[in-house]
Structure 1
Amino acid sequence: MTRLEFAITVGFHWLFVLLTLGLAPIIAYMQTRYVIGRNPRFERMTRYWGQIYVVNYALGIATGLVMEFQFGLSWSGLSAFAGNVFGAPLAMETLVAFFAESTFLGLWIFGWGKLPKVVHLLLFWAVTATAYASTYWILVANGFMHHPVGAEIRNGRAYLTDFAAMLTNPNALYALWHIVSAALVAGGGFVAGVSAYQFLRRTSEVPFFLSSARAGLAVAVPFSIAVAETGFRQIPPLHAFQPMKMAVLREVLLPEDRGPYTVAQVQAELAARLGPGDYAPPGWIAGAYDFMMTSAFFIVVLSLFGAVCLIGNALARSRGVAFLVMLIVPIPFVSSTLGWLVREVGRQPWAVYGQLLTSQARSPLSPGVVLVSLIGFSTVLAALAIANWSLIVRYAHRGPRDTDLRGQEALPHKESPVALQL
């Protein structure tokens, strides 16, 4: 139940983070276009997509706090063993996300119409930079759990010996590029999909949402391909450092071609080196992996299809085309969740691969306490998720008129002739 509780917590949190990371560069681009080109449409786009970003960010912070709390509550064994090593990157992640990023975002929210335009723009680029810096630091900590480097074990605890090795851990860096690509696909697909939804509703804001769809698909198309490329780059390190995960995936998905190692062979090698035990993760991760790969293919196809249908504004004119482009919105979130399951569950039974078993990492809590905690956290997370998605749907449905991000100036309800240029 402890593992289930943490999986639910991280899973919910990741859905918020994915959209936050994906939307930030797109909004920064929109505001840059406004500041440089003075096109009022891009200011309205910044406000419209920015308010969705703010809602998602705020509730993502709340789920992140729940996740941080669980390290001390449910995983005291992990904290005791590896706290000396990944305590520093976790602290950096907290400082960047909860202090620097939130400060920059607060200044950006309340700075509309009050700060110089260039300063206001730089604030959101700072928000974007700190969001990705936060991702890097959390993956440094997570990468150590998958491939412990830069540390030595003394008296049953890990002590940091090479900070540079931990910062350049290949497991963390490969995962970083993969996650960044997935987030940009999710953000670009979300912007394109919501724009397509507005075309289904026969919105009067056609130029606005055509520009939004172009921006979203300009990101989603290349990074949908990059997701696959960065995913394949992780396979050689997995063969080297987590051979059991690769053996399980290959044996289930390619039973006629099991490669150089079978599950039984890897099990025998690990048992001889680490002692008796079952070191194979559950076989269902292969199904999750297969579904993830299939959904990634559909993302590429739908993104390319949407980009082609921008020619001649077919996306705005055809309800069938708009409906297909709308499908881009949920697929990256499903695919990324499955990828997270493959990554984390595939590491089992290890909390720190080859060093600390998950059974050793858990806190000595009674089943009743864990059950109460599971129900409580799940209820809170579900409430936050429902609130987040309800607000996002409300803003997406309402359109760009009368956005909540407003400065001292009044927003125009009709675009000027210059703004109507596509």
Structure 2
Amino acid sequence: MDTLLLARLQFATTTSFHFLFVTLSLGLVVFVAGMQTAYAISGKAVYARMTKFWGTLYVINYALGIVTGLVMEFQFGLNWGGLSEVAGNVFGAPLALETLIAFFVEATFLGMWTFGWNRLPKWIHLALIWLVAAAAYASTLWVLAANAFLQNPVGHEMRDGRAYLTDFGALLRNASLTDSLLHVVSAALLAGGLFVAGISAWHFIRRTNEEDVFRRSLRWGVAAAPVGAFSIIHFGFLQEVAIERYQPMKLAVMYQEPTRLEAARQLMLQRFGPGDFAPPSWVAVPYQVMMNGAFVLALATLACLVLLFRNWLVRLRVPLYALVAMMPVPFVLVIMGWLVREVGRQPWAVYGLLTTEQAVSDVPPGLVLASYIGFTLVLGLLVVLDYWLIATFARRGPRHTLLGTTLAEPARDRLTAY
């Protein structure tokens, strides 16, 4: 195995693992903020219990997700020196903003929110979680702005073989950014909705306590999931407009239509001269999985929404099992989507500007293999730990959250503290 292949495998692995955490955090924070808003307005204690329960799961996932982000940064520095040298002056700017927001603004506000229960005024405490949510989505914007530059390099000029940023606004107006950002936001909403609905459904199946908490949570999740599912489909197809214009070979391989493939080859020949500029043909497989999976989830979640009428969703019980089974599906589709977006860009690291072969660092394959194995083990451990912690606290239910309490408080006080 050579350095380039190992570096690409490492990038695919670290990005996929990290984005699992990001997707859940983006989806779940909206529910936590919404539930706390409902409590602040209505004063009903059930919304406080909902906020603490789902907030605990959010904090767990966010904390471990930060570590996966650090691993991803390490592999960037180790494996992609050529990319940083040629294009780092451009795509490094939005990544620097993302780092400042994620590691300073977002983490600071989340820490204040986590430890501010019973210490801060109600409305200030509520504002903190909304600031956390806003910072999370701002981070997503900057990451995707950097990635959109790799898909469609704009707002720069080349000097001495290096790209220099000339129009920062062009990065935000990139045709490859807007629809992809809304696509990711939709995926997060779907994942968060099915996560909330699935865990709530599990508690109904087990007939556990806190029925009021999980009945309301179930409704919130089931109401949000089809919105996310249909939005995914909408913004997914809208992205194909930009792909057809700027990356016609990717679209041709995605659909595997002979006429379109031949037209794309001729266009690549005119643009870049002789050479093989087609991504691997297997990109069509994750594309079909993602597209068909989104349609299935859209119909299934819409059916669950209809079954909320007269509480049929709970009475029939079979839909509850279906909701539990659907929980991991959005995360599979997210990975399929990233494979299509990133592998479909091959053989370019920066489309039309820099190939992946030119972008990779000049390091021995053994070193990349060692780092790949080490990083993968760390990421795998973090995924297992995240699942175990979330599953443990999800099973225990709202009465066992420590948000808003201290270890010195008696158990009976923990149940009532806000």
The answer as to 2:202 corresponding to 1:197 is yes
CA distance in 2, matches of 1:321, 1:98: 40
- 5+ unaligned residues in a row in structure 2: which ranges? 1-5
Q: Secondary structure at the match of 1:284?
A: helix
Letter in 2 for 1:103: T
Cα distance, 1:115 vs. partner?
0.4
Cα distance, 1:204 vs. partner?
2.5
Aligned match of 1:418: none
The answer as to 2:324 corresponding to 1:319 is no
Contact 1:263 1:280 in 2 (8 A): no
- Runs of 4+ residues deviating >4 angstroms: none
Aligned match of 1:419: none
1:143-292 equivalences in 2 (<5 Å): 143-250=148-255, 252=256, 254=257, 258=259, 262-292=260-290
CA distance in 2, matches of 1:18, 1:192: 16
Aligned match of 2:368: 370
Q: Secondary structure at the match of 1:203?
A: coil
Aligned match of 2:3: none
Number of aligned residue pairs: give it: 407
**Cα deviations across residues 203-256 of structure 1 (Å, max 9, x unaligned)?**
222221110011112211212111111111111111100000011122x2x55x
The answer as to 2:7 corresponding to 1:9 is no
Cα distance, 1:182 vs. partner?
0.6
The answer as to 2:114 corresponding to 1:109 is yes
The answer as to 2:67 corresponding to 1:62 is yes
Identity of aligned residues (%): 52
CA distance in 2, matches of 1:401, 1:316: 22
Cα distance, 1:70 vs. partner?
1.6
CA distance in 2, matches of 1:265, 1:296: 29
CA distance in 2, matches of 1:124, 1:31: 8
Contact 1:140 1:172 in 2 (8 A): yes
Q: Secondary structure at the match of 1:171?
A: coil
The answer as to 2:74 corresponding to 1:75 is no
Cα distance, 1:78 vs. partner?
0.3
Cα distance, 1:75 vs. partner?
0.3
Cα distance, 1:271 vs. partner?
3.2
Contact 2:25 2:58 in 1 (8 A): yes
Cα distance, 1:266 vs. partner?
2.3
1:380 to 365, 370, 378: 378
Letter in 2 for 1:218: A
Cα distance, 1:411 vs. partner?
4.2
2:37 to 16, 28, 32: 32
CA distance in 2, matches of 1:37, 1:126: 21
Cα distance, 1:330 vs. partner?
1.0
Cα distance, 1:331 vs. partner?
1.1
CA distance in 1, matches of 2:320, 2:264: 49
**Cα deviations across residues 91-123 of structure 1 (Å, max 9, x unaligned)?**
100000000000000000000100001000000
**Cα deviations across residues 292-340 of structure 1 (Å, max 9, x unaligned)?**
1111012112211222222222333333121012223111111111011
2:127 to 106, 109, 122: 122
Deviates more, 1:35-44 or 1:290-299: 290-299
Cα distance, 1:267 vs. partner?
2.5
Q: Go from structure 1 to structure 2 and tell me whether the alpha carbon gap of 1:204 and 1:312 turns closer, same or farther (over 3 Å shift).
A: farther
Which structure shows the higher helix fraction?
Answer: 2
Contact 1:196 1:315 in 2 (8 A): no
Aligned match of 1:420: none
Q: Secondary structure at the match of 1:153?
A: strand
Deviates more, 1:61-70 or 1:129-138: 61-70
Aligned match of 1:391: 389
CA distance in 2, matches of 1:275, 1:99: 46
Cα distance, 1:159 vs. partner?
0.7
Contact 1:199 1:317 in 2 (8 A): no
Cα distance, 1:163 vs. partner?
1.0
Q: Secondary structure at the match of 1:234?
A: helix
Contact 1:45 1:208 in 2 (8 A): yes
CA distance in 2, matches of 1:233, 1:122: 34
Cα distance, 1:32 vs. partner?
0.3
CA distance in 2, matches of 1:413, 1:217: 28
**Cα deviations across residues 165-212 of structure 1 (Å, max 9, x unaligned)?**
112112011110100011011001100011111111112222211100
1:339-358 equivalences in 2 (<5 Å): 339-358=337-356
CA distance in 2, matches of 1:205, 1:322: 17
Q: Secondary structure at the match of 2:275?
A: coil
Letter in 1 for 2:144: L
Cα distance, 1:146 vs. partner?
0.1
2:98 to 93, 107, 115: 93
Aligned match of 1:337: 335
Letter in 2 for 1:386: V
Letter in 2 for 1:116: P
The answer as to 2:30 corresponding to 1:51 is no
Letter in 2 for 1:60: G
Contact 1:111 1:407 in 2 (8 A): no
* TM-score under structure 2 length normalisation: 0.95
Cα distance, 1:413 vs. partner?
7.1
**Cα deviations across residues 326-368 of structure 1 (Å, max 9, x unaligned)?**
2231111111110110011000000000000000100011111
CA distance in 2, matches of 1:123, 1:413: 22
CA distance in 1, matches of 2:379, 2:312: 40
CA distance in 1, matches of 2:222, 2:326: 10
* TM-score under structure 1 length normalisation: 0.94
- 5+ unaligned residues in a row in structure 1: which ranges? 415-422
Letter in 2 for 1:287: V
Contact 2:116 2:404 in 1 (8 A): no
